[in-house]
Amino acid sequence: MTVDLAPIVLFVYNRPKHTRQTLEALAQNELASESVLYIYADGPKENANEEVISLISETREVVKSKNWCKEVHVIESSSNKGLADSIVHGVTEIVNRHGKIIVLEDDIVTSKGFLKYMNDALSFYENEEKVMHVSGYMYPIDDNFQDGIVFLKMLSCWGWGTWKRAWDHYSDDVEAFMLKLNNKAEIDKFNVGGNANFYVQLFDNYIGKRKTWAVRWYASWYFRGGFSLFPQVSLVRNIGHDGSGINSVNFGLYDSKLFAQSINVSKHQNIEEDKATIQKLDTFFEAERAIFEGRSFQKQKKPLSKFGKKINELAVRIVNSLLYRYDRFYGEESFFRKTNRIFNASTRGENVVLEKPFFVNHSEIGAYTYIAENARIQFTSIGKFCSIGPNLTCGYGIHPTNGLSTSPVFYSTRSQVGITFSKTDKILEFKPIEIGNDVFIGMNVSILDGVKIGDGAVIGAGTVVSKDVPPYTIAVGAPMKFIRKRFTDEQIKALLEIKWWDFEEDKLKDVESMFFDIDEFLTKYKK
């Protein structure tokens, strides 16, 4: 038992019931009475309604209602930092002060032995450079209790810990990570043998579709050859699968049937991945894919022979090749799925119309948006209520001009002409494009990589959008020029604060009824 216990950091926001369950379970830990607890309480967003503000207040009352540990320090934010920024800031602050840390979120219920397990692991492997992350969760891959620990090159952030020596390597440079994932083999390794979806998460961060800290943390230590220490049976349960969390999904696939009250942590001389656990994870992730894709899954009774594995791998390559070459080029409804496990990482909201033919790849289309025929959209985030004319070209790729050639056969592994001389991707060929909400785009418009079009902007027919367009600005021509703003600066500022495109359906009726009376609308909704 180490005398120098790691501090615990808990991040909360607006879920008082979840927070109470998390704290009550933590207080039952045998080391809680000897531990220091820091609680970071995030503040309300600018457009938070009374219900959310009330829940934030209730949550703060819960954390202050008891002495959950030996010492409790509550850090309240007056504004909303967001989950990612809140965690990165809080972990950095506390781990720099104490040298090590245990991290919980408001929906993680721990067993009585969680703190002992975490402190033992943080003590035993404090000076083992390869071990950079300690997980309190284990995927539900065993039907029988297994005591002990394993090492894996993968992440779980449901109750975890680390050291300052490891957290010092945390990086938000997603572009640098993407450059390292420059071929399918590297992507498969990053995805735990091609099974997990860490690459999709990282890519979503790259194009601005989401902002999450966990996959950035995983990439930060993964590319330094790091490992995560896992218990063989989970010591935590996630109670946030009710859709109430920021990044939660109402799905119980990850719920562990077994819940360890204690796990023995021993010192391993050789730090390497546990092959038996990897095989079990392969089966788990295959079942996960089957469920998300709406098909049945049965465990394989007999392992494939070497020949059978080769045939299976060949079949997978052929199918993937066909999907890549054909499926994504045709405007079929099956192209889109409304889960986070989707083909080519493309999603759309409700009431979206895409006129065929279209090509959409690694993109997101917001609700109530229509896109006319012959659209080619890549690596793009499109907001809500957008109106887009025919023949849009959006994200066609970048050719470097500072090399010996501009041909991709020398800098890309994608074999655009059927062959490549490059073993790695020397550049990121696509930069994310962001199209805001309520944007109107005329016919025959081209949008270059890396451009951001603000909310309410208008892009005239035939325009080549080569630079950012400010909100509510009318842009036309090639070369593009700004004609005028749709409203006064004061009106634009108010509209951007109101964000009517995020209204519930009953409030959207006011947009219709006050359609030509912007002043009346602003008077009603301006803060």
Rounded mean pLDDT of 123-131?
96
Comparing 77-91, 92-106, 278-292, 457-471, which segment has the lowest mean pLDDT?
278-292
* Greater model confidence, 503 or 283: 503
Domain identity same for 498 and 378? no
Domain identity same for 18 and 57? yes
Cα(486)–Cα(483) distance, rounded to whole angstroms?
Answer: 10
Domain identity same for 241 and 352? no
Cα(484)–Cα(492) distance, rounded to whole angstroms?
Answer: 13
What are 516's two structure tokens? 């030509």
Reference 281, options 161, 121, 150; nearest CA is 150
pLDDT at residue 194, as a whole number: 75
Domain identity same for 229 and 269? yes
pLDDT at residue 494, as a whole number: 95
Domain identity same for 249 and 368? no
- Mean pLDDT over each residue of the chain, to the nearest integer: 85
Domain identity same for 274 and 349? no
Domain identity same for 470 and 497? no
Checking if the pLDDT of 337 tops 50, the result is no
Checking if the pLDDT of 334 tops 50, the result is no
pLDDT at residue 290, as a whole number: 64
Comparing 115-124, 272-281, 345-354, which segment has the lowest mean pLDDT?
345-354
Comparing 29-38, 395-404, 480-489, which segment has the lowest mean pLDDT?
395-404
Q: How many domains does the structure of the chain reveal? A: 3
Checking if the pLDDT of 65 tops 90, the result is yes
What are 162's two structure tokens? 């680390």
Residue 148's CB is within 10 A of a number of other CB atoms, namely: 14
Based on DSSP, count helices (H) and strands (E) in the chain, helices before strands.
Answer: 14, 27
* Greater model confidence, 249 or 360: 360
Backbone dihedral region for residue 419 (phi beyond 0: left; psi -120 to 50: alpha; all else: beta)? beta
Give the CATH number of the domain where residue 345 resides.
2.160.10.10
Helix or strand run (H / E) with residue 227: strand 227-231
Cα(29)–Cα(358) distance, rounded to whole angstroms?
Answer: 56
256, part of any domain: yes
Please give the share of the chain, as a percent, with pLDDT higher than 90.
58
Give 388-403 pLDDT, tens digit per residue: 999 999 988 889 899 9
pLDDT at residue 527, as a whole number: 67
Among 89, 98, 268, 399, the active-site one is: 399
Domain identity same for 361 and 259? no
Checking if the pLDDT of 256 tops 90, the result is no
Query: How far, rounded to the nearest angstrom, does the alpha carbon of residue 59 sit from its chain's CA centroid?
Result: 25
Rounded mean pLDDT of 312-334?
38
Comparing 110-124, 146-160, 230-244, which segment has the lowest mean pLDDT?
230-244
312, part of any domain: no
Non-local (6+) Cβ contacts of 451 within 8 A are 433, 434, 465, 466, 467, 468, 469
468, part of any domain: yes
Residue numbers of the domain that contains 80: 8-169+224-290
Rounded mean pLDDT of 52-68?
95
Comparing 7-11, 38-42, 242-246, which segment has the lowest mean pLDDT?
242-246
Checking if the pLDDT of 28 tops 70, the result is yes
326, part of any domain: no
Checking if the pLDDT of 301 tops 60, the result is no
Q: Report the Cα–Cα distance between both ends of the chain, in Å, rounded.
A: 55
pLDDT confidence of 414, banded at 50, 70, 90?
Answer: confident
Domain identity same for 366 and 446? yes
Burial of 131 (0-12, 13-18, 19+ CB in 10 A): buried
pLDDT confidence of 413, banded at 50, 70, 90?
Answer: confident
3-state secondary structure 339-355: CCCCHHHCEECCCCEEC
Burial of 16 (0-12, 13-18, 19+ CB in 10 A): buried
Going from the C-alpha of 242 to that of each of 140, 250, 282, the distances in angstroms are: 19, 5, 26
The three-state secondary structure class of 320 is helix
pLDDT at residue 308, as a whole number: 55
pLDDT confidence of 143, banded at 50, 70, 90?
Answer: low
* Greater model confidence, 168 or 194: 168
471, part of any domain: yes
Cα(79)–Cα(453) distance, rounded to whole angstroms?
Answer: 26
Domain identity same for 18 and 76? yes
- Helices 518-525 and 505-513 sit at what angle, rounded to 10 degrees? 140
Please give the share of the chain, as a percent, with pLDDT higher than 70.
84
Residue type present at position 229:
L
Residue type present at position 51:
E
Give the CATH number of the domain where residue 82 resides.
3.90.550.10
3, part of any domain: no
Cα(78)–Cα(195) distance, rounded to whole angstroms?
Answer: 41
Give 201-210 pLDDT, tens digit per residue: 898 888 777 8
Cα(167)–Cα(94) distance, rounded to whole angstroms?
Answer: 11
Domain identity same for 233 and 348? no
372, part of any domain: yes
Instruction: Flag whether the pTM goes above 0.75.
Output: no
Going from the C-alpha of 414 to that of each of 178, 420, 429, the distances in angstroms are: 15, 7, 10
322, part of any domain: no
Domain identity same for 441 and 505? no
Reference 379, options 466, 327, 449, 467; nearest CA is 449
Q: Are 453 and 434 spatial neighbours (Cβ–Cβ below 8 Å)?
A: yes
362 is catalytic: no
Domain limit, last residue, from 290, 317, 347: 290
Non-local (6+) Cβ contacts of 211 within 8 A are 82, 84, 205
